[in-house]
Amino acid sequence: MITSKRVALVVVAILTILFFLHSLRSSSPQHSPSDQLPKFVTSTRSSASQLKEDLRASMVEASRFATGKGSAAESLKLSSLQNPLKGLGTRSLREQLEYQFPYDPQSNFPAYIWQTWKHDPSEVSFEEEFRENEISWTQLHPGFVHEVITDDIAVHLLRHLYASLPDVLAAYHALPLPILKADFFRYLILLARGGIYSDIDTAALKPATDWVPAKIPRDSFGMIIGIEADPDRDDWADWYSRRIQFCQWTIQSKPGHPILRDVVANITEETLLRRDRGRLSRDHRGIVDFTGPALWTDIIFKYFNNPSVFDMSTSQGSVTWQHFTRITSAKKVGDVIVLPITSFSPGVKQMGAGEDDDDMAFVKHHFEGTLDDPFTPESLDTINILA
């Protein structure tokens, strides 16, 4: 029987819930976009703050599980933050990645700067030779969120971003060398969050807002890459993997770009195939083709010649290295901006590269990493060349 006393209790309960919800809404901070950033760059301070909170929560839960104070379910609490791919279990990995990280070429570039290293800049163990490089990115990009991700943090960050894509996480953990994980991580973070990735031994010479001529509409491209190698010697194949090789130590992209989707799917599938066949090796040979600049270059050219992306009916042939050799200014191919070798490799004194004070010099690469370091910034090609 419904009595007046029960009715009163129900009314009180409803009023209490409404008051609680109103309090939460009124206490929520309001974020306004940064007025320091150009219109084609999106301020990500609020999202970065949330990301840090998620990371801290993830690390706490993982720590509880590792010390026996939490359950496996608790340690994977962040999985609930991802939208499950319901009904997509039979789709290809590329389709799943497209669903999880959609690409909008007309969106703004996120104002992120991502770097990776084994130490955080706040630690005394952070190498002094990298401090000036790291600071240069912050100084030239006010309003950007600049993060140096350590290898420990990377594990939890990827668990957060790729919780609904277990094959990707399995591939990352299966990779037997830090350099392989370093290569994979840069593609993963840009696919999921976008922004700029640059190795820890690079210095910013000019802000990213100056990398592309103002006459090129900012909503007409979604990725900026540079040329690493453009050898003109007859024995170029003894020194480089490709006649034109695109740089992967600095990349700017909008999240979800198809090139990133393809490279992530390629590495994931190849890694799991090698794992299942017992062919994953710690041998350094072949890194450039497995996860490094050779694979990166091949997938970029594959994209440039994809008839489902570009109208090839009016093309006079395939896009090849010949379209990029000796370029001295930015070249737009579809939604990708290709910068000349001077832009990310000034001062190498070969292959037509200009000096650090050249108008087209944007990023200086100091080549200070080693293959034995976690998140090493160098490819095997570069080490062989310098030796």
- Determine, yes or no, domain membership for 54: no
Residue 11 lies in a domain: no
Q: Which pLDDT score is estimated for 336? A: 97
Structural domain containing residue 201: 84-310+317-386
Give the torsion sign (CA, 78, 83, 87, 90): negative
* Angstrom distance (rounded) from CA 188 to CA 210: 25
Instruction: State the pLDDT at residue 8.
Output: 52
- Name the domain count of the chain: 1
The DSSP 8-state label assigned to residue 118 in this structure reads S
| 198 in any annotated domain | yes
pLDDT of 334: 94
Residue 286 per-residue DSSP state: T
CA distance 218 to 165: 31
Residue 201 domain flag: yes
CATH number assigned to the domain comprising residue 192: 3.90.550
Using DSSP bridges, classify how beta strands 112-116 and 145-149 pair: parallel, antiparallel or unpaired: parallel
pLDDT of residue 216: 94
Contacts of 55 (CB under 8 A, 6+ apart): 153, 156, 157, 160
CA 67 to chain centre: 32
Q: What are the beta bridge partners of residue 148?
A: 115
Q: Which helix (DSSP H) or strand (DSSP E) does residue 229 occupy?
A: strand 223-229
pTM above 0.75, yes or no: yes
Please tell me the total number of residues recorded for the chain in this structure: 387
Q: What is the pLDDT along the chain (387 residues), one digit of tens a residue?
A: 555 555 455 444 555 554 444 444 344 333 333 334 555 676 554 455 555 565 555 545 444 433 344 433 333 333 333 444 455 567 899 999 999 999 999 999 999 999 999 999 999 899 999 999 999 999 999 999 999 999 989 999 999 999 999 999 999 999 999 999 999 999 999 999 999 999 999 999 999 999 999 999 999 999 999 999 999 888 898 888 899 999 999 999 999 999 999 999 999 999 999 999 999 988 777 888 999 999 999 999 999 999 888 877 777 789 999 999 999 999 999 999 999 999 999 998 899 999 999 999 999 998 765 433 333 333 323 222 222
**Domain-embedded: residue 59:** no
> What was the pLDDT predicted at 148?
95
Determine, yes or no, domain membership for 218. yes
Terminal C-alpha separation, the chain: 89
